[in-house]
């Protein structure tokens, strides 16, 4: 009850806000440029060669001169969630509209549910439209129609990305409940984002170095190297960004069979080796990253659930 | 002539840690009257209103609003109560009509019904001319009148108005007082009006309650209070006199 009215209003607010327009323009621009460069590169590389299977997905995974589209969304996606949510509750509180909302005949949870769902809807519309535009551009560039399996993989990638960005949306809504100041919650969300994006992977190296130090003598020992890498990988899985990176890499690239491959290959090398390998089916790909996916979905719900709990117990007073 | 009580509290108390905001409050508001809820800032008026609305839970005692328990049946209470908080908030980037439409939707009023009501309400509070302006550009008086329009749209049986004349110029105050009077007379809405300014309240209130430091020190028609507390007959007493009297009583 009341959730529909709040959802509609919030959605309208999102789509008419400058921050949304700026974010959307930025993302659309970067994705188009990235796809264009990747597409041109692929076209050049594949000239005269038989088209490999799943060439369409390479549009998303090839790094090109800058970064791949998947990497860009992994890095920039959290920012969408944070920007959409960091002032959702405390702005209403400071404008005095929160106590008015709460005095209307609606359940209190419809306020926070409506806000969260409208954010998720905004993210979904944003990502879907960008993926469609990018696919269209890719079609004209490479001239290959994606197979049904490729479409499914892109769809699953879209769903995972929506969950991932919704996790960050949940974090920012939580901070907007916890902190009264809008600037404080904005800074806090940014700090969390930076911590998980950069410092967890750094910390992972530090921990791995401390537990299994690699020096002159041990670098020859494969056991030690494996141990080092394993610790580093496990620690960095504490970061939702790592979880997301690992799972989308597998989903979008059928040739990848494990999240923990040590071998680095160039594009041409990969192309030639892949001709002799069988790709994973979708269900197998999902199976490989199932623990990642479940964790990602779980932390999204935990984060939102915690904001829900805090919000329901907070006293709403006019100021 | 005692009318039926629509708001009733018994031993209502609220404390934040050791600080007692509302202390053992027992009073009632009767159907159709204008009840002036007086007291200095920080005396617990707003906290009492929040408890009556179910936005805050009492630590002790109980309250009933139209036979509903605000703590357990908050939605039912909110359906029949219109509330204008002190410093009423609006969505500043929307205009008056959009703000009112949102409130109507939250109250489950279909747009076809609310659009007529909204125009009528804007007309009667005199905001018809300014309706295209964003509410962010409204003056304090206009915002309070928009608050009254919100009540007109919701058509509640009771309205809780928290300091509706705070910070208004004399003309704005008179307008708001007139609107409140017409809410009571024309729409027969029971009104619980909180204020620290006796001069405003005594113009319209049928009965008043005086709250100091979380306690209700006096309830009744103003003439009776004046007689009992100060021994004067006329209505020309000031709240300061009553405060002084009360503090004298406390100190002795």
Verify whether the Cβ–Cβ distance A100 to B105 is below 8 Å: no
Band of residue A289 on the pLDDT scale cut at 50, 70, 90: confident
Q: What pLDDT sits at residue A229?
A: 83
A103 touches chain B (CB under 8 A): yes
Q: How far apart are CA B164 and CA A123, in angstroms?
A: 41
Give the β-pairing of B5-16 and B60-65: antiparallel
Q: Which of A268, A281, A263 is nearest to A150 (CA)?
A: A281
- Can you tell me which residue has the tokens 């219109």? B82
Verify whether the Cβ–Cβ distance B91 to A95 is below 8 Å: yes
Report yes or no: B55 and B75 within 8 Å, Cβ to Cβ. Answer: no
Which conformational region is residue B67 in: left (phi greater than 0), alpha (psi within -120 to 50 degrees), or beta? left
From chain A, the residues in CB contact with B105 under 8 A are 4-5, 8
Average pLDDT over chain B reads 87
Asked if the model's pLDDT at residue B219 lies above 70, the reply is: yes
Q: Which of A206, A257, A263, A215 is nearest to A236 (CA)?
A: A206
Verify whether the Cβ–Cβ distance A100 to B83 is below 8 Å: yes
- Can you tell me which residue has the tokens 């004046």? B226
Report yes or no: A36 and A133 within 8 Å, Cβ to Cβ. Answer: no
For residue B140, give how far its alpha carbon lies from the nearest alpha carbon of chain A (Å): 14
For residue A127, give how far its alpha carbon lies from the nearest alpha carbon of chain B (Å): 27
Q: How many CB atoms lie within 10 A of CB B237?
A: 20
From chain A, the residues in CB contact with B52 under 8 A are none
Q: Which two tokens stand for residue A92?
A: 């209403």
Verify whether the Cβ–Cβ distance B87 to A96 is below 8 Å: yes
Asked if the model's pLDDT at residue B2 lies above 70, the reply is: no
Sign of CA dihedral A12, A102, B150, B137: negative
pLDDT digits (tens, 9 = 90+) for A234-273: 888 888 888 898 888 888 888 777 766 656 666 667 666 6
Q: How far apart are CA A60 and CA A127, in angstroms?
A: 13
Report yes or no: B195 and B84 within 8 Å, Cβ to Cβ. Answer: no
Q: What pLDDT sits at residue B241?
A: 72
The Cα-based distances of B127 to A61, B82, B94, B142 in angstroms read 58, 20, 15, 7
pLDDT digits (tens, 9 = 90+) for A135-190: 999 888 888 888 888 899 999 999 999 999 999 999 999 999 999 999 999 999 99
SS3 at position B129? coil
**A267 burial level (CB within 10 Å; 0-12, 13-18, 19+):** middle
Verify whether the Cβ–Cβ distance A316 to B55 is below 8 Å: yes
Q: How far apart are CA A136 and CA A146, in angstroms?
A: 11
Q: How far apart are CA A124 and CA A23, in angstroms?
A: 14
Q: Which of A235, A230, A58, A254 is nearest to A149 (CA)?
A: A254
SS3 at position B84? strand
Give the β-pairing of B19-25 and B5-16: antiparallel
Q: Which two tokens stand for residue A81?
A: 């969630």
The rounded percent of chain A whose pLDDT value lies above 70 is 92
ipTM reported for the complex, 2 dp: 0.85
Of B85, B90, B92, the CB nearest to A99: B85
Report yes or no: B88 and A100 within 8 Å, Cβ to Cβ. Answer: yes
Report yes or no: A184 and A89 within 8 Å, Cβ to Cβ. Answer: no
Q: Which two tokens stand for residue A188?
A: 């806090």
Choosing among A4, A103, A115, which should be mutated to test the B contact, i.e. which has the most B CBs within 10 A? A103
A vs B, Cβ pairs < 8 A, gives: 69
The DSSP call for residue B82 is: E
For residue A172, give how far its alpha carbon lies from the nearest alpha carbon of chain B (Å): 21
The DSSP call for residue A146 is: P
Q: Say whether pTM exceeds 0.90.
A: no
| Residues in a beta bridge with B38 | B195, B210
Q: How far apart are CA B79 and CA A103, in angstroms?
A: 9
Angle at B97 between CA B94 and CA B99, to 5 degrees: 50
pLDDT digits (tens, 9 = 90+) for B102-138: 999 999 889 899 999 999 999 989 888 888 899 999 9
Which residues are within 8 A (CB) of B78 and not within 5 positions of it... i.e. 6 or more apart? A103, A104, A105, A106, B53, B54
For residue B100, give how far its alpha carbon lies from the nearest alpha carbon of chain A (Å): 12
Verify whether the Cβ–Cβ distance A315 to B56 is below 8 Å: yes
Of A4, A6, A102, the CB nearest to B55: A102
Four-CA torsion A84, A85, A87, A93, nearest 10 degrees = 130
SS3 at position A225? helix
pLDDT digits (tens, 9 = 90+) for B59-81: 999 999 999 999 889 899 999 99
From chain B, the residues in CB contact with A88 under 8 A are none
- Can you tell me which residue has the tokens 């409140």? B180
From chain B, the residues in CB contact with A100 under 8 A are 83, 85, 88-89, 103
A19 touches chain B (CB under 8 A): no
Q: What pLDDT sits at residue A264?
A: 61
Verify whether the Cβ–Cβ distance A105 to B53 is below 8 Å: no
SS3 at position B230? helix
Q: Which two tokens stand for residue A124?
A: 């979904």
Q: How far apart are CA B237 and CA B82, in angstroms?
A: 31
From A96, which residue of chain B is nearest by alpha-carbon distance? B89
Q: What pLDDT sits at residue A123?
A: 95
A106 touches chain B (CB under 8 A): yes
For residue A261, give how far its alpha carbon lies from the nearest alpha carbon of chain B (Å): 52
From chain B, the residues in CB contact with A93 under 8 A are none
Of A5, A105, A316, the CB nearest to B102: A5
- Can you tell me which residue has the tokens 């800074």? A187
Asked if the model's pLDDT at residue A318 lies above 70, the reply is: no
Asked if the model's pLDDT at residue B1 lies above 60, the reply is: no
The phi, psi pair for A21, rounded to 5°, reads -60, -45
Q: How far apart are CA A10 and CA A2, in angstroms?
A: 12
Q: How far apart are CA B110 and CA B153, in angstroms?
A: 12
From B159, which residue of chain A is nearest by alpha-carbon distance? A103
Average pLDDT over chain A reads 86
SS3 at position B154? helix
Q: What pLDDT sits at residue B220?
A: 84
The DSSP call for residue A197 is: I
Continuous H helices in chain A: 3-16, 18-46, 55-61, 69-85, 90-95, 97-102, 108-142, 148-178, 182-194, 200-211, 222-236, 240-252, 267-274, 282-313
SS3 at position A13? helix
Mean pLDDT of B39-68: 89
Of A51 and A228, the structure prediction assigns the larger pLDDT to A228
Q: How far apart are CA B76 and CA B230, in angstroms?
A: 41
Q: What pLDDT sits at residue B243?
A: 64
The number of angstroms, rounded, from the C-alpha of B158 to the middle of its chain's C-alpha atoms is 9
Residues of A numbered 130-189 whose beta carbons fall under 8 angstroms of chain B's beta carbons: which are they? none
């Amino acid at each position: 009850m009341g959730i529909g009215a709040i959802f509609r209003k919030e959605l309208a607010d999102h789509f008419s806000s400058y921050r949304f327009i700026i974010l959307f323009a930025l993302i659309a621009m970067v994705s188009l440029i990235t796809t264009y460069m990747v597409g041109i590169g692929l076209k050049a590389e594949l000239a005269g060669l038989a088209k490999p299977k799943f060439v369409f997905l390479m549009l998303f995974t090839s790094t090109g001169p800058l970064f791949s589209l998947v990497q860009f969304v992994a890095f920039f996606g959290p920012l969408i969630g944070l920007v959409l949510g960091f002032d959702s509750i405390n702005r209403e509180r400071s404008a005095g509209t929160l106590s008015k909302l709460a005095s209307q005949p609606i359940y209190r949870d419809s306020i926070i549910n409506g806000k969260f769902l409208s954010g998720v809807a905004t993210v979904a519309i944003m990502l879907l439209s960008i993926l469609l535009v990018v696919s269209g551009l890719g079609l004209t560039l490479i001239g290959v129609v994606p197979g049904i399996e490729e479409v499914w993989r892109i769809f699953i990638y879209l769903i995972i990305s929506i969950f991932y960005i919704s996790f960050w949306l949940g974090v920012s809504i939580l901070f907007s409940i916890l902190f009264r100041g809008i600037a404080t919650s904005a800074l806090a969300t940014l700090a969390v984002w930076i911590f998980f994006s950069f410092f967890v992977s750094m910390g992972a190296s530090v921990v791995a170095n401390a537990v299994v130090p690699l020096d002159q003598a041990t670098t020859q020992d494969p056991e030690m190297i494996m141990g080092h890498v394993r610790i580093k990988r496990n620690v960095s899985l504490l970061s939702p960004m790592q979880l997301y990176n690992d799972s989308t890499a597998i989903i979008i690239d059928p040739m990848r069979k494990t999240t923990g491959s040590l071998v680095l290959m160039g594009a041409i090398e990969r192309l030639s080796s892949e001709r002799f390998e069988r790709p994973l089916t979708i269900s197998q790909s999902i199976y490989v990253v199932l623990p990642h996916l479940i964790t990602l979905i779980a932390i999204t719900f935990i984060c939102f659930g915690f904001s829900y709990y805090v919000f329901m117990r907070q006293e709403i007073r006019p100021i | 002539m005692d009318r039926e009580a629509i708001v009733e509290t018994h031993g209502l108390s609220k404390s934040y840690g050791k600080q007692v905001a509302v202390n053992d409050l027992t009073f009632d508001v009767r159907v159709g009257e204008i009840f002036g809820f007086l007291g200095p800032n920080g005396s617990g008026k707003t906290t009492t209103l929040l408890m009556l609305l179910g936005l805050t839970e009492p630590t002790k005692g109980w309250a009933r609003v139209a036979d509903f328990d605000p703590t357990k049946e908050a939605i039912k209470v909110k359906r029949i109560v219109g509330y204008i908080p002190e410093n009423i908030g609006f969505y500043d980037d929307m205009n008056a009509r959009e703000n009112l439409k949102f409130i109507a939707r939250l109250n489950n009023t279909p747009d076809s019904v609310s659009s007529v009501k909204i125009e009528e309400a804007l007309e009667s509070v005199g905001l018809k001319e300014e309706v295209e302006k964003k509410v962010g550009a409204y003056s304090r008086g206009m915002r309070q009148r928009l608050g009254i329009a919100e009540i007109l749209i919701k058509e509640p049986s009771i309205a809780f108005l928290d300091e509706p004349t705070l910070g208004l110029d004399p003309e704005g105050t008179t307008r708001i007082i007139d609107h409140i009077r017409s809410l009571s007379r024309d729409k027969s809405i029971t009104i619980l009006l909180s204020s620290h300014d006796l001069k405003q309240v005594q113009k319209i209130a049928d009965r008043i309650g005086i709250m100091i430091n979380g306690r209700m020190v006096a309830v009744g028609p103003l003439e009776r209070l004046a007689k009992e507390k100060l021994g004067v007959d006329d209505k020309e007493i000031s709240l300061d006199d009553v405060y002084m009297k009360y503090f004298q009583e406390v100190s002795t």
